[in-house]
Amino acid sequence: MNLSVRAASPDDVPEIVRINIDSWRAAYSGLISDRYLQELDRTAREHTWRQRLAGDPTMPTFVALGGEQVIGYCAVSAPSRDEDAPPDVAEIAAIYIDPRHWRAGAGAALMEAALRWIRDQGSWTMVTLWVLAENDRAQQFYRRFGFAPDGARHHLLDLRADEIRMSLAL
């Protein structure tokens, strides 16, 4: 597969939302409520993504392309959205791949692009991300890049699941 990464544009919103919903349903089945997964709202997510891609330079989003098709995305938040984060901490806010393209290298390409962007800014000392505590596959992926649990944990009431935070010192 001819794989490339570029900055997301507003034209990518429908594919980003499709990937978000499809990957949530595939990755989180059995980890969170099936009813919640079936009720994911495409319209609300499209609105959120259109706002996000409206041009905030502190929140870049990258898309992975398999040929010309968007097959994944990664969103950065710099600074981190966490209330307890020091001002020099960035965050991988989301990274999702179309389940039909899992294990094809898109996730690694997106993570590398996001970490390169964060490092190139020169002002971040750490990167964090949140992952479902029971999502072993995702945690293994993040560990490949040097992320490790930092002890922070919270419960998502609407999902009836726990998340852990993982961190990477830069």
Domain count of the chain?
Answer: 1
Which phi and psi (to 5°) does residue 166 adopt?
-120, 145
pLDDT at residue 54 in the model:
86
**Can you give the CATH number for the domain in which 7 is found?**
3.40.630.30
Q: Which residues contact 144 (CB under 8 A, 6 or more apart)?
A: 108
Exposed/middle/buried for 67, CB within 10 Å: 0-12, 13-18, 19+?
exposed
- Percent of residues, the chain, with pLDDT higher than 90: 90
Q: Which residues contact 117 (CB under 8 A, 6 or more apart)?
A: 60, 62, 76
Identify the CA nearest to 62 among candidates 127, 9, 120: 9
Q: Are 115 and 139 in contact (CB under 8 A)?
A: no
Which residues span the domain enclosing 53? 3-169
pLDDT digits (tens, 9 = 90+) for 11-69: 999 999 999 999 999 999 999 988 999 999 999 999 999 999 987 777 899 999 999 99
